[in-house]
Amino acid sequence: MISWINFIIMIISALLFSYFYIKSVSPAALEKKIGKIAYLKCGRYRIIASVFEIIVIINYIIYFFYPLPVLLSRTFPWNRWISVLIAALIAIPAGYLFGKGIKDAGKEAMIPEKEHILYGGIYKKIRHPQAAGELTFWWVIALLLNSPFLAMFSIIWIPVFYLFCLAEEKDLIIRYGSSYLKYRENTGFILPKRVRKKRY
């Protein structure tokens, strides 16, 4: 019973996390309706989204103790330390991307600001370092919990985070116009773009 309650809460929290996050990355579109206060409101949406994301993480942990009665092994077929090692190998580059993205985005990482200019730092190479880093952390958690089910469940985050990025870019085009379109053309989505050498 606990396992099903936990799973239902996890699904609902994942949906609410997604809903509020998408709302949080649309300040420019919302500003057209309610004015400059839209940026503060979107900051609140981001905080609410973060709360629901934390709840999903807690649900992952509870799942370890109360797994669903599914036809799937409770743990991976290898030694738990192999899962921990794989998790660490994923977490190091993911943590760098996520941390560097937050650092280079500044306050904008949590609360959108109308006066904010286009990012520098790692954003000169890729457009969504935070999303790329954060997305992979779901598998880090699943591996640390040694749960094949959670590793499979985490696949749902791929389209979700892709939608997050598309929603954010849609609003950034409204916000920055041609400057963002040019930036997007020259910068990779989550991987750096290969620079083509000019032939003479």
- Alpha carbon distances (Å) from 25 to 76, 148, 159, 168, 184: 37, 32, 16, 5, 17
Burial class (CB in 10 A: 0-12, 13-18, 19+), 79: exposed
Containing structural domain, residue 120: 2-186
The total domain count for the chain is 1
Q: How confident is the model at residue 200 (pLDDT cuts 50, 70, 90)?
A: very low
Instruction: Render pLDDT for 152-167 as a digit per residue (tens, 0 to 9).
Output: 999 999 999 999 999 9
Instruction: Render pLDDT for 112-134 as a digit per residue (tens, 0 to 9).
Output: 777 777 667 888 889 999 999 99
In a domain, 194, yes or no: no
Query: Residue 49 belongs to a domain with what CATH number?
Result: 1.20.120.1630
In a domain, 28, yes or no: yes
Percent of the chain with pLDDT over 90: 68
pTM: 0.88
Side-chain-side CA neighbours of 74 within 13 Å: the count stands at: 7
Q: How confident is the model at residue 180 (pLDDT cuts 50, 70, 90)?
A: confident
Instruction: Render pLDDT for 30-79 as a digit per residue (tens, 0 to 9).
Output: 999 999 899 999 999 999 999 999 999 999 999 999 999 888 888 899 99
In a domain, 200, yes or no: no
Hey, which bits of the chain come out as E strands? Answer: none
In a domain, 197, yes or no: no
In a domain, 75, yes or no: yes
